[in-house]
Every structure is written in structure tokens, then in C-alpha cells.
Amino acid sequence: PAFTWEVRANDRNYHVQFKKKFAFCLTKKKYAGNAIKTAKYNIFTFLPLNLYEQFHRMANVYFVFVILLQTFPEISTLPWYTLLFPLSCLLTIRGLRDLIDDVGRHQSDRNINSRPCEILSGKSFRWQKWRDICVGDIVRLHKESFVPADMLLLCSSEPSSLCYVETADIDGETNLKFRQALLVTHQELVSEESLATFDGEVTCEEPNSRMHSFTGTLEWRGETYSLDSERILLRGCKLRNTDVCYGLVIYAGFDSKIMRNCGKIKRKKTKLDRMMDRLVIIIFLVLLVTSLCLAIASGFWARMFQEKHSYLSALYKNTTPAQQAFFNFWGFTILLSIIIPMSMYITFEFIYLVNSFFINWDLEMYYAVKDIPAKARSTSLNDQLGQIEYIFSDKTGTLTQNMMSFKKCCINGTIYGTGPGHENKQPSGSGLTWSHHGEKKLDFCDATLLEAAWRDSDPVLREFLRLLALCHTVMVEEKGDQLVYQAASPDEEALVLAARNLGYVFLARTRDTITISELGEKRTYKVLAMLDFNSDRKRMSVLVRDPQGTIRLYTKGADTVILERLQRRGPNETFTEMALERFAEETLRTLCLASKEVSEVEYSKWSRRHREASILLQDRTRELDKLYEEMEQNLQLLGATAIEDKLQDGVPETIQLLKLGNIKVWVLTGDKQETAMNIGYACKLLTDDMEILEEKEISSAPTIPSSHSEILEAYWVSNNNLSGSEEVLCSSRLSQPCPEASCHKKRAVIVSGDFLDKILHVGEVLKEKKGWLWRRLACCRAMGPQEPGSLVEKAFVDLATSCQAVICCRVTPKQKALIVQLVKKHKKAITLAIGDGANDVNMIKTADIGVGISGLEGMQAVQCSDYALAQFSYLQRLLLVHGRWAYLRICKFLRYFFYKTFAGLMAQVWFAFHSGFTAQPLYEGWFLALYNIFYTSYPVLSMGLLEQDVSAKKSLEFPELYVIGQQDELFNYRVFGITLLHGVSTSLASFYIALWAFEDGIGSKVVGDYESFAVTVATSALLSVLVEIILDTKFWTVLSFLMVTASLLLFCLFSFLTQSIDAFRIAPAVFRFPEASRNALTDPYILLVVLLSLVVNTVPSLTVRLYRTITGKNTIQQNIRLKARQEPEPSVELRAHVPHGSFHRRSSYAFSHQEGYAGLITRGDSLRTGDTRRAT
């Protein structure tokens, strides 16, 4: 990266002078202010921007075109304002919805920008707002406050200028992380005066989205000091256990790393929405072609008519056949324009809105504990909830509660904590005196273990509990009479709390002592050395001298590393291995505990070498590791602990159900690999019969031919930039399906952020190069050989999507979004992202549907989400019930709206063949106006609101039903084609049966006129449409009956009102069909014609349904019902058989500790001088 970002402390004028180009010749400040703006609109841009977005919908463009045509009186059939009013209503409804969303975003921005902070102004600190902060300012932060910008830590009130931060809002982790200032700034910047005169200059990389890395230098007083991420406080962190700290602002506002990871707000359109846009274009083109054909025919007919009837030439004096054809073309266009009715779009919005209310009102998704209901924050994506193929989930706070609890342990061949859920009281009369230190209720409470601890007769148990109280890096603080522990990881805290509750209380620590209370007796141990944890060693040890003067080593770590360092393997060790296997089966996180006595001679030799190694300048870490290895040999096993990383309620069952519904779940987390894998097993995402592909197995070119080797070869060929011909070869290999044998083998992929960086890097370079022009060229060349970047991406996506589970660990927020983008791009799949922290915001915005968990980590995720839930488990109901129903309802609604429109209005076309191809309407104007609004829309509306094929209970019992939505079965081009043909056939039957009846016979009354004919065709079409909807409604309610009845009653009522003699007398030009319906529909002959039309239109539908039932062409639902009758459904809670020794393949060890804490303690950096009581 280019080190061109220069920050001068206390020098605002220096930064103001720099500008950078951002569009054409326009420039803006290089150094951004700290105010953020996540809203899309302001007062001036709302109207133009919102209208611009709305007219991306083809239907709106189409309606404007029709309104413009209606303004020409020569071709107009309706006044133009009658169409403008409903369009304005539609645009207003959608505009208001967007406005309300944006007002919420403005409110949120205002709250964040107005947070108070102290900024150094002149020689003293003044309280100002976050938005007033500029790059180069020095800011004072207090305990429990949020960091307002990315800052270089200058000094703090803690020893050695340490600073403890919690990054829950960034990566969801609640354990503390430490940051430390440079020694020079810690020593020199001791007062406000020294801070005011500080004029250091930081040179570092330009603003970027890499959360875990920072490289730069500080130049001050002629010296240069190197800076890394350990010196930086990121925006969004919370200051903990540190009273005051001072920082120099490096990146502000949108330049800060968290904002760089946030992504833009994207307007989300559903798959059906996009399809509707294409359908509108298709229908419009068909309409134009039809109008053109009819207009040409009208021209020929006019010429022929004029030649044949020359005595009428006076009528055609001012017009030619060509002119007639021209006017007729526009006349037909307007007449047929109602085939895409505006009422459909207004009803559409209403259905979406009501279905959103159903989600909000669902008591099954209401979390009573915290009084949080489910909330549909977006109302236009409901149907897409029924089409999800991939779910991308955060881990911490989404799948887990981020709470560790000590569940079981195995000590000296005995397993404790076997009775789940028993709340055992302390043994009466035991006189335990340490309980006043506790402030947390303990999940683990085994009476036998408590009694054994109190009896103090088992030396192994004593050592076991002593180890828990001594071997850790926890800090302790006394608040009143309460001890408050601050741990580097939640599992450390769980172990120390367990020891405390069993009588071994950690009280205080200094640089070289630890004080604990053992069953009420205070003992101080001298700490001789701390052998720090790291991810390669997978263990930590502490070397102590007890009050009697004996030196002991206490070690805890992964079973795989501890068991191979034992002195002997006896029956106890074998039993402990079996216990570990059992704990692993229950997906508990295990640690092995061991100790040994060290002789004075051995210690003095080791200590001398340890001192020498710790002052080495080269290979210090390697030499220390060697020494640690020597000391940690010939250990005696004390036992094992099992900690539960508490999952949220119902997570395993939900993931199991989603899998059965053909939905793949990917976990994207910022956590370590071991922790992520453990949760994978705990929530049944990973099972023991899966082949697990880790990074090293993916990125080393495989020698054994396996099903993924083709993909990986492609990855290697493209990575090494081989010739184009080989790339083409690779892409053809990629497209081959995997061999049958290996397709059936279950696989999971586990990769880290670094590995993804390598894969995504090539694609990123292409995107950043030369802006839009380069991307446009890349699109044009996409038909040629594939770019190396996209080939690598495709190879990875093909491999990952062929697996049953994917876990990505140590990923940044931006990488989360890029993974979602990759799957959308290469698989064209509908994706859903679910998370609860600010680190999930980008992923939530990028996915087709974003779900925010209203959890512990603030509300950033919820504010950017489309749907808000309180628990991950509610996802099953949101997708399998509400999503599937919404998809079914919208699809049926569209199908029947199109059907009724074609069935009713295509008769206009057939009538043209018998009316000299003039654009004379067949129906009465009022029938045309009211057909889509009153006569047929209510039954279709009730179907769109309430239709269900199976109940909610059955939807969850048979998640396989969900596949219908993923495969777009209910509404696609084929279904639309069939609907079109069905509608056309209904209109043909209605029109030609009536025409045939009127041609050669007249009933008992005189009803051979055009008006009676129009009424007959209209009634036949209307009744046929209503019967078809009645036949296809699966779920009948009172509302469904009312809607059908209301349609018929409204038809009768409006026919009576618009065709009354009185109305005709008042306005004969408007009410042109006096008494037409009464004349026609009181004639038995006409009624028989209507009945015949109805029978002819209904019989084919009934025949198709009967044929399907007889030949066994059942629907998926019927197949599933059949399956349910034949075999009992296995319960959702599945447990795979664990083959013996399988836990060696995956030790369930996962210690979420951070390296470096032991060093802080032994150096005394983290401890206040002269204060043995507390250390923060």
C-alpha cells in the first residue's frame, strides 16, 4: 500500500489545504470530516431521486406513455386525468414508504453525530460533538465511552499506557482486547500542556477496509517509531477498565475502517419484480404488434369498403385509408392498454403491506423475554422470503449467546455435572464462606463435587481446583464487596468462576504473585514464569512457588497436546480420554488440565536459560517456545473440563429444518477456526460423517484425484497465469458435474479471511483498475476467455456450493459482503444474510434479504435490515411459513390477474374482426372502467392475502415444500404463457358462443342488438373468471366467500345504476347502454347462452385437474402427504454416531484466548504499582 496519508497533530490548517478529485473536474477535501450520512435523500434530492428510482419500473414508464396518448382528443377513449390519478396514488404510496425509511436513517445519523466528546482546543479540552472532530485532533476518552474515530493511542491512565477495549460493535466479541501506546508518548505526554505542544507526524496507508491491519510510522523530535494495529483504537470500540485515554485522530468519518466496511444502501428488487419488468416489455411489444396488424387490416378494409360503397364517398372526403389506419393504430393501443392494469400494481402494494403485518403480528415470532416482536421493515420483499437458497449467518450473538458456562468435568476418573438442569443447593451445614464473592448464577452445580471439594480429602481434586484458580490471565477488580473479573476470553472467565463457586477464589494478582482463597484460607503464590498461550502451542502454563516453598507447574490446553506430554498412561488417563470423547460428542469445548512438581535444581537451570532467551534480539519467540516445550514434559493428568458455548434456543433444529428445505447455511465469523468449528458441530451444521476440507487441503494442489481436484487444478492454472487455451480448458472442466460417487459424500469447507483475500484479490484489482470504462470493457470481453480473477472465484464458489456446509473464519465485514456477492454473481441464487452487529451491516445490505437480530450488540444491524427478529430460530417460521405463503400468494395473484384481464379484454380484439377493424369498443365504457377495480379484483385480492396450500404446522413438518419457490415453479415464463393461452381461450369461447347464438336466432324478446350482445359476452367472461378462481382457491375463509359474493353484487348494482333510463336522460353521451342488462339477462335464451359459455370455459379446467389426479401426476404437496402416510417422519433432533477416536480428527478444544496477556502480566505493564488488590 502507498504510504501517502500524512497526519499532523494539532494542525487543522495543514489538512484543510489538501483536495482530491471525485468526479470530472469536481474536488472535495482529502481528509473527511467525522460526520457520517447513511441516509439516501435530503430535502432537495428526495423528489428527483425517488422518481428516478420509481421509473426504473417498466410499468410506470408504460403508464406515463398511455397517459400521454390519452391527451390527444382524436384518439382518446378516456379523459387523461382518470389515469393520472391512480398513477399519482401509486407513486405517492411508494414515495412515502421510502421517505419514512429515510427519516429513520436521518434520525440515527443525527444521534450518532451528536454524541459528546472532549477535543483538545488550544491548551485545554472542550466538550464538543462527534461531528466536530477533524483529522489531527487529540481526543480525550473516558471509561465506557465509544471511540469516535480511528485514533492512534497516545497515552492512558493505566500502567504502561495500556487500554482495554471491547469490540462487540465491530466483530461481535465481548471479551476484552488490549491496546498499548508507544513508550515514548507514554513517558512524554503526561499533561494537557504536553499534549497541546505535541507536533508528531504520522505517515501511514490510505484509508482502507482491512480491520485487522495497520502500518505506519510516527515522526517526532527527529525520531521515527513504527506503528501497527496494536496501537490503534478503531471507531466503534468501547473503552473498558480504563479511566481515561488520549488519542490522535488518524481516519475520521467515512475514512474510518468500520465505515469503509459498511457498504452502500442498495435498492433491492425481488426476482418476481425483475420478471414483471420484462413481462411488461413483452406484453407492450405484443400489444403494439397486435394494434399494428389490426390497424393495417383496418386500412385495407376501409379501402375495400370505399370501393364497394362509392355512394358513401361523402363520408370519407377528408380522410384516406392510410390516415384511418394511423388513427386506428393508436385507438387500438389505448383500447388494449388496460391489459396491463394499474389496479394490479396498487393491489400488489396492498398485498405486500398486509403480508408484512402478518409477520409483525405473528405471536410465534414474538420474544416475550425481552418484549421484542418480529418486524418486517421492508414491505416489498415478502415473496422473496420463499425463494432463499443460501443463508449467510454471523456466529457470535446470532447462533450463540456469547456466554460460556462450565458444564462438566472429569477428575481422577470421575465425571461430575452429569445431571443436566438440577439446581442443587450447597450442602447444609457445610459453612462455605466464599459465596459472597459470587455475583453470577452458576449453571454447573453438582452436589457431590461440592461436598468432595469441601471434604478436601482428594489431593487430585485439590490440585485441579487450584489450577483453575491459578493458571489464567484474568484481571480482578473489587467493587464494594464484589469481585469483578475481566478476562481475555469468555472461557477463561468461566473456568475461574467455576473454581470460585467450588471454594477456590482468585482474589488478587501483582506482577509476581497470585493470591487465592482456598476453602476460606488465604494463600499467596509466587509466580516464577508464565508460559503464554498461542495458537500453535494450544496451551498455557504457569510456574509457581506455593507458600510451603514447593515449585509446581500448572498447564491447561488442548487434549491433543497435553495427552502426548504425560509421564504415564494409566487407567485414569484412558478413562479421561473416553470422557473427552463423550464431551466432544455433546459438542462441549474441552481442555485438559495437568501439573507436575519441579525440583529447585531443574528450575534454577531452566530459569537462567529463560532469562537469556527473553533478551535475545533474534529468534526470541522460537527459543522461548523450545524452553516452554522442555518444561512442559512428564506431566501428571489431573482431569478435563467441558465448557458450553451457549447456543441460542432452537439453533440446531432450525439449521436441520433449513437443510431439509434445500437451504444451505454458511457461517461467516470474525472468530478463530477452532471456535467456529466447535459451534459448527454444536449447531449440527457439521456432522461426524462429513469430510472436512481445510485451507491446506484446498490450496495445495491435490495429488490424489478427488471430486474437487478439477476445481483446484483450475484454481492453480489460473493462479499461475497460464495461457488462455489452458484457461478455457479449465473453465470447461469447471462446468462438468462432479463424479457420481463423490457427489453423495458429505463435505464441508472451512477457510479463513487470509485465504479469501488471495481468491478475492484478483477480482478486486480488476474492479479498482481504471474505473467504469475498464469494467465496461471487461463486460464486453466476457464472451472470450475468462479473466483469471473470475475463474479463481468461480472455482472457489463451485467447490463451496458443492459442499453441505461452509464456515469462513477470521473474515472482515467487507469480506463477508464479498462472499455474498460472489455467490449471487456466480450462482444467480437468492441469498439471505443474518447478523446482529455493526460488522454484519455490509453483508446485510449486500444480500437479497437482510435479517437483523435485535440482540445485545446495539441496533446497527437492525437499522439496515429488511426484517428484524429476536432469535435465529424464528428464521424457520419466517422462511418456511411466511416466505412460502407470500410467494404462493403473490404468484397466484399475478397468475389470476393476468388470466382475468386476458379473459375479459381479449374479446375486444375478436370484435375488431367483425366491426371493420375500427377501434370501436365492444363493451360499455363503464364495464371497461370497473372490470378490474370492482368486478374481479376482490376474489383475487382475498387469494393474495389469505391463500394457503397447507397449514403453518404442515409447512414446518414438511420443509421439502419450500423447494417450489427456489425453482420458480409457481410463476415463470411457461406459467405466464399457459395463463395467456387460458385467458385467450376463455375470451374466444365467450365471444364466439355469443356471436353464434346471436347470428341466427333471436329469443322470445327482441335482443339481437349490439348492446345485448356486449352484455352477454361481458357476463359470460365475468362468470367464467369467477368460477375459475373459486376452483383454484385452496383455503376458504369467510372473507373469500364475501369477496366472491361482493363481486357479483357489485356487477348487478353498477349495471343497474349505469344503465338506468334516468342516467341516460341526464347524460346520454356518458351512459350509453340504457336498460341493456335488464333486456338481455331477463331472456331465458340469453341465460342459456351464458350458461353454455360457462360450461365450455370450466370443463377444460376440471378435465385437467381430473386427469392429474387419475394419472398420478400429483403435486409436490400430494407426494409429501403420501410419504407421510407411508413412513413416520424422523425427529428433527439428529445425532450422528461418532466413530471411536474421531475426536482426534477434530478435538473439540477451542480456547478463544488472545496471545500476549501473559507477557503484559509478567512485565507488570497491566498492574498498578503498589496496588496488590486490583489490576485492570
- Catalytic machinery residues: 394
- Give Rg (Cα) of the chain: 38
Q: What share of the chain is helix, strand, coil (3-state, %, to 5)?
A: 50, 15, 30
CB 67, CB 83: distance < 8 Å:
yes
Please report how many Cα atoms fall inside a 13 Å half-sphere around the Cα of residue 183, on the Cβ side: 4
User: Up-side HSE of residue 71: CA atoms within 13 Å toward CB?
Assistant: 6
Contact 895, 975 (CB under 8 A): yes
523 three-class SS: strand
Cα(1000)–Cα(248) distance, integer angstroms: 96
- Whether the CB-CB separation of 1138 and 585 falls below 8 Å is answered with yes
CA distance to 754, 775, 787, per residue, from 790 (Å): 18, 13, 5
Q: Write the single-letter amino acid at 838.
A: A
Q: Residue 202: which H helix or E strand, with range?
A: strand 201-204
Q: Is the dihedral of CA 1159, 1165, 1171, 1176 positive or negative?
A: negative
The set of cell numbers assigned to 697 is 487441503
- The CA distance from 1096 to 1105, in Å, is 15
Relative to beta strand 867-869, strand 849-853 is: parallel
CA nearest 207: which of 365, 1, 389? 1
- Which residues, at least 6 apart from 1017, have a Cβ–Cβ distance to it below 8 Å? 907, 922, 923, 990, 991, 994
Which set of grid coordinates corresponds to residue 319? 380522410
Contact criterion met (CB below 8 Å) for 19 and 29? yes
| Rounded distance between C-alpha atoms, residue 707 and residue 715, angstroms | 14
Q: Is the Cβ–Cβ distance between 711 and 768 less than 8 Å?
A: no
Q: How far apart are CA 234 and CA 251, in angstroms?
A: 9
Q: Please state, in angstroms and as integers, the Cα–Cα distance from residue 1007 to each residue in 782, 923, 946, following that order.
A: 66, 16, 42
**Residue 390, strand partner residues:** 664, 831
Specify which residues 201 forms β-bridges with.
8, 219
* Three cell numbers written together for 388: 432463499
Spatial contact of 990 and 1024, defined as CB atoms under 8 Å apart:
yes
CA-CA-CA-CA torsion sign (486, 489, 492, 498): positive
| Cα–Cα distances in angstroms (integers) from residue 80 to residues 92, 192, 755, 846, 928, in the given order | 18, 73, 61, 41, 15
Helices 753-768 & 771-780, crossing angle to 10 degrees? 100
For residue 510, what are the contacts with CB-CB under 8 A and spacing of at least 6? 1164, 1167, 1172, 1175
Q: Which residue type sits at 941?
A: L
Q: What angle do CA 802, 803, 806 make, to 5 degrees?
A: 125
In Å, how far from its chain's centre is CA 359? 17
Report the DSSP beta bridge partners of residue 693: 749
What is the enclosing helix (H) or strand (E) of 864? none
Q: What 8-state DSSP symbol labels residue 474?
A: -
CA 860 to CA 837: how far, in whole Å? 6
